[in-house]
Chains A and B, each alone.
Chain A
């Protein structure tokens, strides 16, 4: 049986190769997608981080006129609030960053001191923003330019020694005049120990954008009665739309790929049956039963699935290793061959091709030898 299957595949090369191509292409995409997936997820997280946190939790009695004109709450609240929020289950907040911001003057320049506590992720998510060590500082583009500072410089920051670990890229916003330090350093510099004036956070995009703010406010009220939440609609919308776009894209891509590939393999298998009508008649005349006839076609499907899976795994992995780093530049190091995908590829490709060949195999079994053997 297998000898005949191999010989037939070698004889009708085009049909075999086109079928193989269909399976291999699907497996290549599958393997590429999952091999590069880790880098893609990390890259998405990075992009989302760059979009920014979209929730701002500030003291309830903040003077909103002044807040909107300075972008800094004039009141403070206990630092413990961020831990209370993080410890409370059932909230839709994630990636909590407690901050203390104040405008001040340093070396005759108006700056904004921003104290940042390392990000707290209540829903076991990976932190999006890098952690600031104590006695280190990241300075805005304008600060660096005006004061002629660079990475590695040691500075006295209003009585607190700090080493500059990074100069931030020009943002075109007030961020260009900020100096980011650890929250505790900022509290020391500003004499506001144990205080923060804002918690930045992300909503989890579990609900549509319309009811998000109302839901978030309802959730926050009993937990932190002295705080209120604001939503940066543009950022929220950008995140929501991005997420929706990716979900829609994937929801379309996979079924489309499956339909196209199954149609392709099924059609080629059906053509193969048509081409082999007389051969089926001969097998029948020689006493081969329906199981043997179906076996010829399903055996070929298994062979195609197996070969397609191996070819697809090799191509997909090679493609991910070669092309992936060009797509996901910042997270390319995360792209590694995933050998567990080989098993999955083999099993799913074989099952898939056998399923696609079931109808053609039935058609083959149903061929009437009395008709096909008369055909010239």
Chain B
């Protein structure tokens, strides 16, 4: 499903080059729930964004569903991302002026809007947000916001979900709920990769990988 091959990523800083990822290699099989754990600054987000096609590596290759995503043009990569990858971020990153339903519908890749809205409504219902369909993010609790973000990530039924510290801003109860939803989605055949610095996600993981100073450790 995901193959990270000799990936290196360095950033140019005021004191020279800083390596965020040092020759990372990783294979994630279809249907796996993988947790990548590491402290702040270890390169977790860089790795996740690189897998998601949003951070071009300095060297190496990233394959998602047998596709070298950085060999694609910008337009094709955007389309690939829209259809194959769902993102969940620590800061929720919902569009502030759209309501819950519209935020979820942002992920749609076409089709009849009415039908898509019904589908989004059902998804929100499953995630316990049916009473919040027309609320804006500012009117939602942190847990509700993150569940909206999870719904958005799942809406297109992408085969891969990438979650960056998805429970970093949630209390334990809400964190558990978010992981339960991700695990349910994973059980339906999707691949889930979660990067986190804590251990909350580990009970749901098929595999835990540690990332330290840009190096992946098994």
Q: Is the CB of B82 within 8 A of A287?
A: yes
Query: A286: which of B45, B55, B106 is its contact (CB, 8 Å)?
Result: B106
Main secondary structure of the interface of A (DSSP, over half): helix
Q: Is the CB of B79 within 8 A of A373?
A: no
A250 at the interface (CB under 8 A from B): no
Query: B95: which of A10, A279, A373 is its contact (CB, 8 Å)?
Result: A279
**Which residue in chain B gives the minimum CB-CB distance to A3?**
B102
A282 at the interface (CB under 8 A from B): yes
**Which residue in chain B gives the minimum CB-CB distance to A376?**
B91
Query: A285: which of B45, B46, B54, B74 is its contact (CB, 8 Å)?
Result: B54
In the bound complex, how far is the Cα of B80 from the Cα of A150, in angstroms?
Answer: 92
Q: Is the CB of A285 within 8 A of B87?
A: yes
Q: Is the CB of A289 within 8 A of B75?
A: yes
B109 at the interface (CB under 8 A from A): yes
Residues of A29-71 contacting chain B, CB below 8 A: none
By CB atoms of chain B within 10 A, which of A281, A283, A285, A290 has the most?
A285
Q: Give per-residue flags for B86-122: 1 if the beta carbon is below 8 A from chain A beta carbons, else 0.
A: 0101010111111000100011010000000000000
Q: Is the CB of B109 within 8 A of A10?
A: no
B67 at the interface (CB under 8 A from A): no
Number of B positions contacting A (CB below 8 A): 29
A284 at the interface (CB under 8 A from B): yes
The residues of A that contact B166 with a CB separation of less than 8 Å are none
CB distance from A155 to the nearest CB of B (A): 81
The residues of A that contact B54 with a CB separation of less than 8 Å are 284-285, 369-370, 373
B52 at the interface (CB under 8 A from A): yes
The residues of A that contact B75 with a CB separation of less than 8 Å are 289-290
Q: Is the CB of A8 within 8 A of B97?
A: yes
The residues of A that contact B82 with a CB separation of less than 8 Å are 286-288
The residues of B that contact A369 with a CB separation of less than 8 Å are 49, 54
The residues of B that contact A8 with a CB separation of less than 8 Å are 97
Q: Is the CB of B81 within 8 A of A373?
A: no
B78 at the interface (CB under 8 A from A): yes
The residues of B that contact A376 with a CB separation of less than 8 Å are 91
In the bound complex, how far is the Cα of B107 from the Cα of A278, in angstroms?
Answer: 16
Q: Is the CB of A287 within 8 A of B109?
A: yes
Q: Is the CB of B52 within 8 A of A4?
A: no
The residues of A that contact B46 with a CB separation of less than 8 Å are 370
* Chain B contact residues, CB within 8 Å of chain A: 45-46, 49, 52, 54-55, 74-75, 78-83, 85, 87, 89, 91, 93-98, 102, 106-107, 109, 152
Going nearest first, the 6 A-B pairs with the smallest beta carbon separation are: A287-B82, A11-B97, A370-B55, A289-B78, A287-B81, A7-B97
